[in-house]
Amino acid sequence: MALPKVGWGRGVYVYDNAGKQYIDGSGGPAVFCLGYGNEEVNEAITRQLQKVMHGYRATWTSDPLEELTALLAERCGLTLTSVLFVSGGSEAVEAALKIALQYHTARGESTRRRFISRRRSWHGSTLGALSISGFEERRAPYEGALIEGSLLSPANTYRPPAGVTRDQVGAFCAQELEREILRLGSENVAAFIFEPVVGAAGGVVPAPPGYAALVRQICDRYGVLMIADEVMCGSGRCGTFRALEPDGVVPDIMTIAKGLAGGYIPLGATIYGANIAATLTTGPATGHTFSGHTTACAAGVAVQTIISRERLIERVRDTGPRFLSMIRDAVGDLEAVGDIRGRGFFVGIELVADRVTKEPFAAGLKLYQRVRQQAFEHGLICYPSGGNVDGICGDTVILAPPYNATENELAEIADKFGLATRATLRDLDHRV
């Protein structure tokens, strides 16, 4: 099916070239945290372009780069004070992996080359980031060319590992990490990378309580770096700037991207701690032509300034439970809705053929895509994802509205999602 052409956007609404209006209930792929057409951000970009579009990183620093670095250091707090700016999430993860390797090499531990991650995770499209991603559908075309890594069980309380209760998931998954480090030999392990709230690959799966703290202890015990991939769940999406803040845990390296510049210009960042910066005395030997792009950083400063001034992260934190309730009111009575979960303005809905057994729908139905299409016809943009159960079966839909969406707009998103889900199930003759 041919895609419509995007025309223009204002606030939470976007229009195709024929003039049809859509409410963006997912901020694209959880990117557009301020919505469309923000004049203040556009003006900041224009002002920077009128000065200079970009000062190449090997030649220049710049005011926007330094301002955004200071802003992120303040937001992250504690020891996460060094920043490498890149052009997106995949690059940010790739840089995190390379920084981890450089760190261990600089310390005389060049045998530490292995990475551990989890199944049903997504870390990016570059070969390194793809190699540590447990997203079978996206990996399949590249198998045989990916670097070797370890993929552990998903930390998902709705679908615990066999023989494990919901309350045991955090401890079980942490112990699994420790066993894998010991199996490989800690002297061979560079880092463990995970999403504090799994996005596309799991359909918004928050880490179980206590899990991140246990992981932090294990990584410290064996000299393994802890990398938090917050590309999708971070930058305020979950109601705190760092998604790990509620867990009371600070990683060694953190990646962000989507909410950093709000989609106005591609921008991501790899943020790392003082201990790593002190070891890499000349800075990380990684980066690209457009790393620290001056105009992109100016866009990031503008977006983050607005978020801070208007206290939008606090709004996401305070309004998130209400938004979750709206979604539950809209679809929670449906037998096909197995789980509704999330934090802040990051909500995942998992659809199941049997609510009691949690059996997923047949993969061939591609129910998640059907819901997405019905929603689109109803004038709602949502983010579908499949394969969350076993890499093949499983249907989830993600809703991730802009941080400044009004109560009425949030209600419209929930109502239209409810209509679209019910219409999709009726088309399948499923009980609604």
Q: Does one domain contain both 305 and 325?
A: no
Q: Is 354 left (phi over 0), alpha (psi -120 to 50) or beta?
A: beta
Q: Are 238 and 344 in contact (CB under 8 A)?
A: yes
Measured distance CA(202)–CA(227) in Å, rounded: 18
Residue 389 scores a pLDDT above 80: yes
| Assigned domain for 432 exists | no
pLDDT at 431 exceeding the cut of 70 = no
In a domain, 1, yes or no: no
Which pTM value belongs to this model?
0.96
CA 342 to chain centre: 12
Tell me: do 123 and 63 sit in the same domain: yes
Whether 87 is covered by a domain: the verdict is: yes
Residue ending a domain, among 281, 309, 337, is 309
What span, in angstroms and rounded, lies between the C-alpha atoms of 71 and 414?
34
From the list 276, 299, 312, 281, the residue with the least C-alpha distance to 85 is 299
Residues 248 and 139 placed together within one structural domain of the fold:
yes
The answer to whether 297 touches 47, Cβ cutoff 8 Å, is no
Domain end residue (candidates: 309, 338, 356): 309
Whether 256 and 335 map to the same domain: the answer is no
Model confidence at 249, in pLDDT bands (50, 70, 90)? very high
* CATH code of 366's domain: 3.90.1150.10
Per-residue pLDDT tens for 346-358? 999 999 999 999 9
pLDDT of residue 430 exceeding 70:
no
CB atoms within 10 A of CB 78: 10
What mean pLDDT is reported for the chain?
A: 96
Query: What pLDDT is attached to residue 395?
Result: 98
The answer, yes or no, to whether residue 432 has pLDDT greater than 60, is no
Which of 267, 286, 309 is where one domain is finished? 309
Across the range 396-418, mean pLDDT stands at 98
Q: Is residue 36 part of a domain?
A: no
pLDDT digits (tens, 9 = 90+) for 272-324: 999 999 999 887 878 899 999 999 999 999 999 999 999 999 999 999 999 99
316 and 293 in a common domain: no
What pLDDT is stored for residue 409 in this prediction? 98
Provide the pLDDT confidence category of residue 209 given band limits of 50, 70 and 90.
very high
Over residues 353-388, the pLDDT tens digits come to: 999 999 999 999 999 999 999 999 999 999 999 999
Q: What is the CA radius of gyration of the chain?
A: 21
More confident residue, 297 or 79: 297
Assess if residue 364 is contained within a domain. yes
The pLDDT of residue 82 is above 90? yes
Residue 1 has pLDDT above 80, yes or no: no
CATH number at residue 151: 3.40.640.10
Domain of residue 230 covers 41-309
The yes-or-no verdict on residue 235 having pLDDT over 90 is yes
Q: What is the pLDDT of residue 216?
A: 98
Distance from C-alpha of 375 to C-alpha of 23, rounded to nearest angstrom: 10
- Asked whether residue 280 is domain-assigned, the answer is yes
Number of domains the chain contains: 2
- Please give the structure tokens belonging to residue 257: 């991207």
Closest CA relative to residue 89, chosen from 125, 41, 60, 142: 125
Write the CB contacts of 178 (distance below 8 Å, at least 6 apart in sequence).
218, 221, 222
Overall average pLDDT of the 114-143 stretch: 95
- Whether 343 contacts 378, CB under 8 Å: no
Average pLDDT over residues 337-344: 98
